Chain A
């Protein structure tokens, strides 16, 4: 093996195509599981706060399971376990449609929903009940008070943990390599096997992950700044 040579990786069009495909799959998994997680988190929160008595314990059990079992084990349970229990037709259809990525999205999304739901809940709980009463006294209905008074404050309080967990979801998308999805880490390992330039390709992979993580953090910081009423009033 010769010395350090980054261009051997970056100028090779095959490797570039593999890296690009890896980034694409990573983002497909990330965006898919983020949307699934956020939708589910809101549904879980609504179910928990609804007057239905059974809602609270069910949601609590859901969150407890997904927070106390390692994400990797959850993914393995989905891909190696539940996949085999599905009816044959559905399993065949999934195999034809990139089952690895789909199960990665489902596994990561369901897991992350537990964290997002807790973040949103603690954000909403930090809004004092007086806000709701005041809004009602001013003539808002329950929904409209929630929409215009409680929610904006609650989501603002929930933003920092939501951003943190969005970043960790992005990093967790690398776990999809274990079920065989062809995401960025997979591409990095593949190129390492082909080129034997371990140091260079790991460096490229690390910089890419770091770059996207920092972009997500930066976008989050921008959102928090935009949401800050003190700053908005000054502008």
Chain B
């Protein structure tokens, strides 16, 4: 069993790492990481806009966005992928690569989830920050830009990393529309070997485990550091525990 696993890694490590890159599209682990990085980077500004719209005082802005966030949260990611797979080529009228379709889906999906994180971050700062900024002569937008968002986003860094981890896990669903990522590469290996599915998929699980575990570890240590910083240098321990509860729920894929 162990021998088989070592042989598979030895024979196929390049395919699992970059897919068929020089001779075909980039794939494998590299593509998984690029896809999830791009998705989170593009979803981030989207989520801030969505969060500001949900906190806006205009109903015309607040209600449609609230509806959008609820729909995105109530529908399985798989269904969204199927929608994008159908709609994106229809709108653009071109043959869109599955990588781009997956990217669009992830930006919408993670954007909606991240917007809840951003909103929680802004709300948890309290009204006082906004009132003080307005009293000092900031307009609503400039208070957001210079006072509220810098604090809220800093406090959100751990939640952001956990969203990144769930994005990595969500990219596996690209398998359904043949996005050439790590899962796709592993199933290619499985199709070539045919007799050792358990060994192939245990390798796949192990790679994802190492990737996500290390990111979660970073998120947790950052979270402790930020909680300490929010509590301030010379406060007592009771305040430190009060500062912690910005633990926003992040959906698992």
Contacts and interface: CB of A to CB of B under 8 A. Distances in A.
Given A74-B205, A171-B76, A209-B74, A84 B82 contact: no
B77 to A, nearest CB: 7
Contacts, number: 119
Contacts of A210: 71, 74-75
Interface residues of B, number: 39
A174 B76 contact: yes
B1 to A, nearest CB: 10
A209 B76 contact: yes
B183 interface: yes
B177 to A, nearest CB: 12
A165 to B, nearest CB: 8
B145 to A, nearest CB: 31
B86 A202 contact: yes
A194 interface: no
A141 interface: no
Contacts of A73: 172, 183, 201, 204-205, 208
A214 B198 contact: no
A72 to B, nearest CB: 4
A198 B86 contact: yes
B209 A71 contact: no
Nearest to A175: B78
B75 A76 contact: no
Contact of B251 (A77, A80, A164, A205): A164
Nearest to B208: A69
A178 B253 CA distance: 14
Interface in A193-235: 198-199, 202, 205-206, 209-210, 213-214, 217
A189 interface: yes
Given A77-B205, A178-B175, A84 B76 contact: no
Main secondary structure on A side of the interface with B: helix
B197 A81 contact: yes
Interface string A121-156: 000000000000000000000000000000000000
Given A80-B190, A202-B79, A210-B74, A70 B253 contact: yes
Contacts of B208: 68-70, 73
A64 B213 contact: yes
Interface in A165-198: 165, 167-168, 171-175, 177-178, 185, 188-189, 198
A146 B190 CA distance: 49
Contacts of A16: none
Interface string B141-165: 0000000000000000000000001
17 contacts: A68-B212, A69-B209, A70-B168, A70-B170, A70-B172, A72-B172, A72-B253, A73-B201, A77-B202, A80-B197, A81-B199, A115-B252, A168-B252, A171-B74, A171-B75, A174-B79, A209-B79
Interface of B: 71, 73-79, 82-83, 86, 165, 168-170, 172-173, 175-176, 183, 187, 190, 197-202, 204-205, 208-209, 212-213, 216, 249, 251-253
Interface of A: 64-65, 67-74, 76-77, 80-82, 84-85, 115, 161, 164-165, 167-168, 171-175, 177-178, 185, 188-189, 198-199, 202, 205-206, 209-210, 213-214, 217
Given A77-B202, A202-B83, 14 more contacts: A65-B209, A69-B205, A76-B187, A77-B201, A77-B204, A80-B190, A81-B197, A165-B252, A171-B74, A175-B78, A175-B173, A210-B71, A213-B74, A213-B75
